[in-house]
Amino acid sequence: MLEHILDLHISPENGTPYWLDVLKKTGRCRKDFRTVDDLHELGPMDVNALRRRPITDFIPRSLLPRMGEIILAETGGTTGDPCRRVYLPREFQAAFVDPWLQAVENFHFPLEQRWLFVGPSGPHVIAQAARAFVRATRSLEPFGIDCDVRWIKRQQPDSMGYMLYMDHLLDQAMNIINQQAITVLFTTPPLLLALAERMTPKQRQRIAGIHTGGMAQDVETGRQLVTFFPSAVILPGYGNSLFGVAFEQEQVADASSVFFVHDQRLDIRLIPVPENDREAPRLTERVEVGERGRVMFHRFDESFLLINMLERDTAIRVMSGGRQGLLDIRGLSFQQETGGKV
């Protein structure tokens, strides 16, 4: 798979404009890259290019006639202007839906339910993922409340603007919960806790399934959700618009979440956490099991190639059954212009 993807994106004959520019800048050529471990020579992914260059600079020429099939995704713009990428339908399936279905099977998530999704629509891929998740469980199209996360992030948490917008979202959500037999909720952990406070005990008892996304769900939030929704199967996810989503392999008693990659197109590595925003990333190093590292990933898709993409998240590296897992996901202690989020 690697050779095929690299041929599509960095070969002189078919390569994309962005990756051909990277090769020229680094003085490398296609034959220099035979394994994943060779990719550090390309340096960190240029996040500003993902924000500012035309999307077609990243799509192989051979796929340009198929633009009508392509799914466009944008990040939330937490660390700056949003980043953009595309997926072919089968890549979107592998990045989002297949890991979801594996988690549904592992944890017996309820099927044929009535969903409420409170989250961003528009350019954010999470809304497309929500509809795909619902269809995959043989359920009705989700009831939805559009949430402009870019606007929320511009408000101070205790400001009048923030409180008014939260009230607006929760009022809309409660209108649906009061009128419809909602049995599954999909939103961010903070919105879910705020919504739970407004729901009646009977409404909370009716919830059979919960999926949280958009940001990490900490242990204390997990415990609160179990108390609020005693009948629900709770599935937190870790992911973003650029690489897809990862789920737990098994749930542990203390409500900690360990996320595992289920997609062979995605390679997540934990590299040493930098001390400040001036320290060069040590792309070739990996932290030991039990240590905290910065999330870095490669994603190998025909439509889009991401190499050495540095995230603003850190996690503890764990191993289970020969597979690497990510535990206790947290943000970096400083903001760095090197990553994008949903």
**What is the DSSP annotation of 183-207?**
-EEEE-HHHHHHHHHHS-HHHHHH-
- The region of weakest confidence among 16-25, 160-169, 271-280 is 271-280
The H or E element containing residue 166 is: helix 160-179
Residue 299 falls inside a structural domain = no
DSSP 96: I
- Give the model confidence (pLDDT) of 192-219 as tens digits: 999 999 999 999 999 999 999 877 777 8
Q: So what's the pLDDT on residue 168?
A: 93
Domain assignment of residue 237, given as a range? 91-248
Residue 86 falls inside a structural domain = no
Read off the pTM. Answer: 0.90
Query: How many residues can be counted in the chain?
Result: 342
CATH number at residue 122: 3.40.50.980
- Give the model confidence (pLDDT) of 52-67 as tens digits: 999 999 999 889 899 9
AA letter at 108: H
Residue 45 falls inside a structural domain = no
Q: So what's the pLDDT on residue 318?
A: 92
- Count of the separate structural domains present in the chain: 1
Residue 262 falls inside a structural domain = no
Residue 174 falls inside a structural domain = yes
- Give the model confidence (pLDDT) of 167-182 as tens digits: 999 999 999 999 999 9
H helices of 93-148, in order, are: 98-107, 125-136
DSSP 113: -
Residue 56 falls inside a structural domain = no
Residue 43 falls inside a structural domain = no
Rounded to 5°, angle at Cα 228 from 226 and 234:
40
